[in-house]
């Protein structure tokens, strides 16, 4: 195993004075038998470590980690897992440890890192890989079917719709449909669009509710009635003056901030092709407004837009930014009664136990049949959007407008910045105050509008994503989309454009698809407004 240094800090040397009477800076008398050197330098050696040999085990086996360290000092060691399904070690601070190989849907590699620190030199590391063989070979199709959250019994406590609504997904099955003399296999999903979200509020979340721009008028008492540590069920009243549309008749008043409507039970029937078909190089399919897929709990996935624009359909606002105060504590809201997400939701992440210690699980499926995974590519590593924000002060040849802080031009092609820009109706200056559809005042900073972005054509390897916000990393998952997040300056996760599925689908939409291709010419107003 190759030993690597974690940093470049130089070795610390220890200086020892010699036992000699010759302490003067000049040499000792030649008659003296003592040496003329006044000091000697002794180096402290760097630990030599070996995390052990790679192993291949079966799911359910007890796995033993046996490492070795050689050094001339006391050494502290630490085990950590860097990839694969998370496991619990019996000890993380001893040379030997053990764990139970997890049940996995397909063969999987778990990587463990051993760090050794002698307190003098820089810590050194070594890794060992444990290859886990699945107890039962599960096909990619079976894995997709198993990803759905199935429930045909539990009903919502607060969303009643005249009799109680069954939460999450009611059924998923494989069906075969004959299309133009060809049999096509689909996942057929039935759901109500009502999730089972139970969230235990933190003090930060309570503070965020109370610090809303219009908290004084949004809440009956000027602040939320919820408190830190309280577990709030989906639809439970937390003190909002919710929209009167749907709420009084269907339940859930007080859970959603003022907006177009409250969610109602939907009779969702969706067909997702088991084997998606890529669009040709010359065809495109814009995601558009409305449903573009389903989360694994049956709630709808909407794309980046809220349907509103500044000017004459030039500068389209991004829903995760403009609607940040219009969503509930799980990051969703309803249009025409259809509950949906435009971006990442920690409530679903909690249900899926996705805490970032491995590749995220499937969060949903796009209308073209490709799965949508969560934000993590591996342990602590976020999938990376291939879209970047424009620099409006740059020359037009580089996608700018030659006008610092002014949105005075748009790109000829957001997928090819080399084609330059074109004149357009000017948008708000960078940072200028704008009013959202719900009446909140926000700053139109960089990234507020769809036209603020362009696809940067980065090489798609590792965690890097393509223009559709997806990739195929040859790990058995096939092509898939990722929800995208980024860390802000405070170290907090924030939605990253295009948030879930790219502005265009990767695959074709079938005639029975839950989504549809948008013309890309105009987007129109949001549903329910």
Cβ(494)–Cβ(264) below 8 Å: no
Residue 525 is encoded by which pair of tokens?
């107003």
- Please give the pLDDT value at position 244: 63
Neighbours of 221 (CB within 10 A): 9
- Please give the pLDDT value at position 28: 42
Where are the strands (E) in 445-487, listed by range?
Answer: 453-455, 470-471, 480-482, 485-487
500 in the Ramachandran plot: left (φ > 0), alpha (ψ -120 to 50) or beta?
Answer: alpha
Please list, in sequence order, all residues whose beta carbon lies within 8 angstroms of the beta carbon of residue 304, skipping any fewer than 6 positions away.
287, 318, 319, 320, 342, 450, 497, 498, 499, 503
Buried b (16+ CB within 10 A) or exposed e, 242-270: bbebbbeebbbbbbbbbbbbbbbbbebeb
Residue range(s) of every CATH 2.60.40.10 domain in the chain: 1-138
CA pair distance 430, 446, nearest whole angstrom? 6
Query: pLDDT (tens digit, 0 to 9) for every residue of the chain, 529 residues total?
Result: 444 444 444 333 333 333 333 333 334 444 444 444 444 445 778 889 999 999 999 988 999 999 999 887 788 999 999 888 889 999 999 999 999 998 887 788 999 999 999 888 888 999 999 999 887 656 788 889 999 999 988 999 998 877 789 999 999 999 999 877 788 999 999 999 999 999 999 999 999 999 998 899 999 999 999 999 999 999 999 999 876 677 877 788 899 888 767 899 999 999 999 999 999 988 999 998 899 999 999 999 999 998 888 887 899 999 999 999 999 999 999 988 899 999 999 999 999 999 999 999 999 999 999 999 999 999 999 999 999 999 999 998 888 998 777 899 999 999 999 999 998 899 999 999 999 888 889 999 999 999 999 999 999 999 999 999 999 987 788 999 999 999 988 889 999 999 999 999 999 999 999 999 975 444 444 433 3
pTM for this structure? 0.75
The SS3 of residue 389 is strand
Q: Which CATH class is domain 1-138?
A: mainly beta
Nearest to 101 by CA among 85, 90, 112, 117: 85
Distances (CA, A) of 498 to 320, 409, 411: 10, 21, 17
- Please give the pLDDT value at position 31: 47
- Please give the pLDDT value at position 521: 46
Per DSSP, the chain holds a count of helices (H) and strands (E) of: 6, 36
């Amino acid at each position: 195993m190759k030993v690597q240094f974690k940093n470049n800090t130089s070795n610390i040397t220890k200086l020892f004075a010699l036992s000699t009477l010759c302490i003067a800076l000049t040499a000792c008398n030649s008659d003296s038998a003592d040496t003329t050197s006044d000091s000697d330098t002794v180096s402290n050696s760097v630990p030599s470590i070996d995390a052990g040999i790679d192993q291949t085990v079966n799911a359910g086996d007890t796995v033993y980690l046996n490492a070795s360290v050689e050094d001339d000092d006391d050494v502290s060691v630490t085990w950590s897992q860097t990839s694969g399904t998370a496991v619990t070690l019996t000890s993380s601070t001893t040379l030997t440890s053990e764990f139970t190989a997890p049940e996995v849907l397909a063969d999987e590699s778990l990587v463990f890192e051993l760090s050794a620190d002698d307190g003098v030199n820089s810590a050194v590391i070594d890794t060992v890989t444990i290859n886990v063989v699945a107890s039962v070979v599960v096909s990619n199709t079976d894995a997709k079917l198993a990803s759905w959250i199935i429930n045909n019994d539990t009903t919502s406590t607060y969303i009643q719709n005249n009799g109680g609504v069954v939460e999450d997904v009611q059924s998923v099955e494989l069906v075969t449909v004959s299309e133009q003399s060809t049999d096509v296999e689909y996942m057929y999903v039935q759901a109500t669009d009502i999730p089972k979200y139970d969230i235990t509020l933190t003090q930060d979340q309570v503070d965020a509710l109370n610090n809303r721009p219009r908290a004084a008028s949004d809440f009956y008492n000027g602040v939320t009635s919820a408190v830190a540590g309280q577990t709030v069920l989906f639809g439970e009243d937390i003190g909002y003056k919710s929209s009167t549309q749907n709420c009084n008749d269907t339940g859930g008043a007080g859970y959603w901030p003022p907006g177009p409507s409250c969610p109602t039970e939907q009779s969702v029937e969706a067909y997702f092709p088991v084997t998606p078909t890529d669009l040709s190089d010359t065809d495109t399919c814009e995601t558009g407004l409305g449903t573009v897929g389903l989360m694994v709990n049956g709630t709808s996935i909407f794309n980046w837009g809220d349907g509103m624009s500044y000017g004459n359909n030039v500068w389209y606002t991004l829903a995760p930014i403009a609607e940040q105060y219009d969503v509930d504590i799980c990051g969703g809201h309803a249009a025409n009664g259809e509950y949906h997400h435009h971006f990442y939701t920690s409530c679903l992440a909690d249900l899926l136990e996705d805490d970032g210690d491995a590749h995220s699980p499937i969060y949903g499926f796009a209308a073209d049949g490709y799965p949508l995974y969560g934000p993590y590519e591996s342990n602590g590593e976020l999938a990376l959007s291939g879209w970047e924000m424009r620099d409006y002060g740059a020359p037009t040849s580089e996608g700018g407008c030659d006008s610092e802080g002014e949105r005075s031009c748009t790109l000829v092609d957001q997928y090819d910045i080399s084609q330059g820009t074109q004149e357009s109706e000017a948008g708000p200056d960078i940072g200028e105050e704008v009013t959202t559809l719900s009446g909140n005042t926000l700053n139109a900073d960089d990234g507020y509008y769809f036209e603020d972005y362009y696809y940067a054509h980065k090489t798609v390897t590792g965690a890097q994503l393509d223009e559709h916000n997806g990739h195929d990393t040859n790990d058995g998952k096939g092509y898939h989309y990722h929800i995208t997040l980024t860390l802000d300056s405070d170290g907090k996760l924030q939605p990253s454009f295009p948030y879930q599925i790219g502005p265009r689908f990767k695959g074709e939409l079938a005639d029975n698809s839950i989504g549809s291709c948008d013309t890309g010419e105009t987007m129109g107003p949001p549903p329910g407004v």
